[in-house]
Amino acid sequence: MASYKYKVLGFRRKFKMSEVVPPPDVKEAFFKFTDGGDHMSADQLRRFKVEHQCEVDCTVSDAERFIQEFLRSRPHDTTTTQQQQHGLCLLDFFHFLFLDHLNGPIKSKVHHDMNAPLSHYFIYTGHNSYLTGNQLSSECSDAPVIKALQRGVRVIELDLWPNSTKDDVNVLHGRTLTTPVKLIRCLKSIKEHAFVKSPYPVIITLEDHLTHDLQAKVAEMVTQIFGEMLYYPQGECLAEFPSPESLKHRVVISTKPPKEYLETKHIKDKGSILTNGRESSEETSANGPEVDEKSESDQDDEDVNVCDYKLVQRAAPKYKRLITIHAGKPKGSLKDALSVVGDEVKRLSLSEQELEKAATSHGTEVVRFTQRNLLRVYPKGTRVTSSNYKPHIGWMHGAQMVAFNMQGYGKSLWLMHGMFKANGECGYVKKPDFLMQTGSHNEVFDPKRTLLVKKTLKVKVYMGDGWHLDFSQTHFDAFSPPDFYTKVRIVGVQADAIKKKTKIIEDDWTPVWDEEFTFTLTVPELALLQIVVREYDVSEKDDFGGQTCLPVSEIRPGIRAVSLYNKKGEKLKSVRLLMRFQFV
């Protein structure tokens, strides 16, 4: 039993760690499946896994492997062959349940159907993926790109600008004080780290502010660096997006295609002769010079005598050909932008405010659009500190690319991390069927509709452990052990949102709460269970003790070890909760 001493005004106070004992439910389960015996065999562990934990595929050999792995993981292991043959004693069983890699709450493998078109999936999406900090003055680097890929992010955004000498391409947040990084460095890092976490496709979204010559240079870079990893269609546009399964270990480019325009020769304009089109007099846009494509009669009305004109493609043909997912922002009415016309699929980008307006006035049109097309939502421009917004409004309307500042911070980012713990953390989560279905009268899901309760989740918080290993003795309180409590809440559609909180356990590094909460869910498919441990402080803001976020649709029933993470979403080495989940 460990003890801790604190010096207070010249004298010492001594606190002992309370002895960690199995909760009553753990004891009950142990004796039930051992038939009252003092050791749990591999076959009895298998029965516990199948009947109590609902892991129906568990075999005796799986259970034997669990036991051997557990016994090998014990510090200063002196287990004898005879002890290994007997199996797990009660304390062994208790400590086994506390191991997240053997008894975690989330399915660890890809288990969704990965053969549907990309539009059928929520995709782990980054915004301004190259920024190390804020949106105005932070450094641009490939480091946050690498970190995002290592986490499992599948959509990387790069803003492309000419360098100062106009002969190379930089990545930076334009018209700010952010320092640039070379595009070629980012591309090489993407190639090296694209599939370390997930084999499913990486989509690079480009915000293109380049001249035609530099677009051609980008095409050359992309082709040379990625080689056969690069996927692009043979035709002009896709009638349907390919599936994640068909694009394994492939890289896909998405951006706005370069514009075609009319080049004119020998144009007479009120007595002036302009040679080689309008390039000499018009400002060049991000995609090259733009002109109005008017009929001859319109041009005659403006007293313009066109002697000769022809349609040419000035943008680099290779660059255009490499764009698999054609992107754009709404022009004209939002309803027109959301209209599903023809056989071509596309990507539409909306700011978080534009999405909120669309959800209010055109909610079902958004859902219908996202059944075949991709919708990307990005943070509003005033989020200069790289904060994020609430993602559920996008997910509820079928938006596949809810783009987040992964270098940011805060509870919204915790939700994003939690959502993509689903499906083996591969970065692609199959959308719920209700978002993809069309009714007998061609109707689609209406996010505004009031729904009935579909599922009830019971969550029991038994206890926590590991803070004394991951934090200093004086981290939470200089003079006594911490006073922990746990907050549990559902984040999802408004009807499902509810918060619960345990009592405060005073002066204890291994708090035992043993409290149960019940949550009724109308849309469990999109619900996230957020868990936050805090340390009560009577005079200041309560200290942070760890957090996690679990997709409800992925939670495995039974008694589970739940690892906690720091504010940045990095896993704490030792801190875990023991919890029970039940669906009724």
CATH topology of domain 452-583: Immunoglobulin-like (2.60.40)
Give the residues across from 161 on adjacent strands: 170
* C-alpha pair distances (Å), 243 with each of 246, 396, 492, 531: 5, 22, 27, 34
Distance CA 131, CA 387 (A): 13
Handedness of CA 550, 554, 558, 560 (dihedral sign): negative
Q: What is the pLDDT of residue 305?
A: 40
The span from the CA of 429 to the CA of 421, in Å, is 9
Return the pLDDT at 26.
Answer: 98
Distance CA 402, CA 390 (A): 10
H or E stretch including 322? none
In total, the chain counts a number of residues equal to 584
pLDDT of 212 higher than 90: yes
Cβ atoms 125, 171 nearer than 8 A: no
Give backbone dihedrals phi and psi of 263, rounded to 5 degrees, phi first. Answer: -100, 130
What's residue 237's pLDDT? 80
pLDDT, tens digit, for every residue of 334-386? Answer: 888 998 777 899 999 999 999 999 999 999 999 999 999 999 999 999 999 99
Q: How far is CA 364 from the centre of its chain?
A: 24
Per-residue pLDDT reduced to its tens digit, 233-288: 987 789 999 999 999 999 999 999 987 544 444 434 433 333 333 333 333 333 33
User: In terms of CATH, what superfamily is 118-258+318-435?
Assistant: Phosphatidylinositol (PI) phosphodiesterase (3.20.20.190)
Interval 80-90 mean pLDDT: 71
* Average pLDDT score over residue span 292-302: 35
Separation CA 222–CA 324 (nearest Å): 13
Summarize pLDDT for 485-539 with one digit per residue, the tens: 999 999 999 999 999 999 999 999 999 999 999 999 999 999 999 999 999 998 8
Model pLDDT, residue 98: 95
* Strand, helix or coil for residue 351: strand
**394-425 burial, b for 16+ CB within 10 Å, e for fewer?**
bbbbbbbbbbbbbbbeeebbbbbbbbbbbbbb
Higher pLDDT, 316 or 510: 510
Q: What's the Cα-to-Cα distance from 575 to each of 273, 468, 578, rounded to whole Å? A: 76, 9, 10
15: pLDDT confidence band, cut at 50, 70 and 90? low
Average pLDDT (115-138) is 98
Comparison of pLDDT for 470 and 539, the residue scoring more: 470
The region of weakest confidence among 48-62, 140-154, 175-189, 321-335 is 321-335
Full DSSP string of 134-150: -TTTPBB-SHHHHHHHH
Q: Write down the pLDDT at residue 76.
A: 54
Residue 11's pLDDT is 42
pTM to 2 decimal places: 0.88
Distance from C-alpha of 574 to C-alpha of 470, rounded to nearest angstrom: 6
Nearest to 564 by CA among 544, 535, 583, 542: 544
Q: What is the mean pLDDT of the chain?
A: 88
Bigger pLDDT: 300 vs 237: 237
Domain boundary assignment for the chain: 24-97, 118-258+318-435, 261-314, 452-583
Flag whether pLDDT at 297 surpasses 90. no
Residues 295-306: what's their mean pLDDT? 36
Residues 104-125 have pLDDT tens digits of 999 889 999 999 999 999 999 9
**Is domain 24-97 in CATH 2.60.40, yes or no?**
no
Interaxial angle between packed helices 90-97 and 24-33, expressed in degrees from 0 to 180 and rounded to the nearest 10? 120
Is position 173 annotated as part of the catalytic site? Answer: yes
Position 14 pLDDT exceeds 60: no
Q: Are 420 and 428 in contact (CB under 8 A)?
A: no
| Residue 524 CB burial class (10 angstroms; 0-12, 13-18, ≥19) | buried
Residues 345 and 343: their CA atoms lie apart, in Å, by 7
Tell me how far apart the alpha carbons of residues 467 and 566 are, in angstroms, rounded to a whole number. 12
pLDDT given at position 234? 84
Instruction: Identify the active-site residue in 120, 127, 326, 362.
Output: 127
CA nearest neighbour of 378 among 195, 160, 135, 116: 135
Whether 52 is catalytic: no
Region 141-153: mean pLDDT is: 98
* Whole-angstrom distance, CA of residue 140 vs CA of residue 158: 10
What pLDDT is recorded for position 292?
A: 35
pLDDT of 312 over the 80 cut: no
Return d(Cα 27, Cα 201) in angstroms, integer: 46
Q: Percentage of the chain with pLDDT > 90?
A: 78
pLDDT of 17 strictly over 60 = yes
Is-same-fold flag (118-258+318-435; 452-583)?
Answer: no
Catalytic residue among 39, 52, 76, 173: 173
